[in-house]
Structure 1
Amino acid sequence: MSRLLLTLVLCAASAAAHAAAKPCDELKTEIAAKLDAKGVKGYEIAAVENDKVGDAKVIGSCDGGAKKLTYVRK
């Protein structure tokens, strides 16, 4: 039981640390590559300050949670 709990805690900590450290440009490139591979056209992904999201759809956060990535169809 304690081994399972330790594994879960380590996995959660690892995932949180990995997500917090991702720069916006890197995450934006990864998401754009996935959309392009699926044939999605006519979109814009932008890194914006948290309070400047507006009506755009938020698809991720980056720079340690300081910014949000937004997705808008053109």
Structure 2
Amino acid sequence: MEKVDWHKNHIDDSTIITDSYKTTQNVRRYFKAKFGEEFKFDRDFMQWMKSSVGLTMGDASREWMNRQHSK
């Protein structure tokens, strides 16, 4: 699996979540660009991200939206 520098690499929907995933400002910018200021990390979603190795950031975006709709 290709190494991703979560601080510096360009992140888009096709970026694969790797075992080196970190919740960084770069990741936050990606989500805020998609969802605006309503995007917030919470503990459960951060844990989901850590356990989603092999999925894409597009998958993560859909998961975040599903969680928002179920609130």
TM bracket, shorter-chain basis: 0.3 to 0.5
Larger strand fraction of residues:
1
- Tell which has more relative contact order, 1 or 2 (C-alpha 8 A, sep 6+): 2
**TM-score normalized with structure 1 length:** 0.32
Structure exhibiting the larger radius of gyration computed from Cα positions: 1
